[in-house]
Amino acid sequence: MTEEKKVLDRVASGRGHDVCIMAIDGTWRRDCLLQAVSDTDALFTVEGSIQGFNLKEFFLLLSSTGLAYRRCELVRVNGTDMDVQFLKTKSKKTRRFPELVPPI
């Protein structure tokens, strides 16, 4: 997908929404302001330094309780602005339970 097409698919927020980024292992966390988001990627501004953090893969926490989140990988950094793409999660297999009726 071209860079121009990505920008057109994003929904921009006028003032931004408060979100957080967090390491996969939970060792660090930073507050951010979500500027734009689409089904596949997002753009946000980080509050504080991200120097020295492993940004290859991390979580974007969309709620204060952490119940809504996306797994991300870094696409680019421009000052305090970060462009990320969402990683696809593996589909969960539905678990089939055996019949509860005993055989006759």
pLDDT along the chain (104 residues), means of 10: 54 78 93 92 92 90 87 93 88 58 58
Query: For the CA atoms of 12, 81, 58, 4, what is the dihedral angle to 10 degrees?
Result: 50
What residues does each domain of the chain span? 3-86
- Res 5: pLDDT: 47
- Give the chain's count of helices (H) and strands (E): 1, 6
Interatomic CA distance for residues 2 and 33, integer angstroms: 24
pTM for the structure as a whole: 0.71
Reply yes or no on domain 3-86 having CATH 3.40.50.880.
no
- Res 34: pLDDT: 93
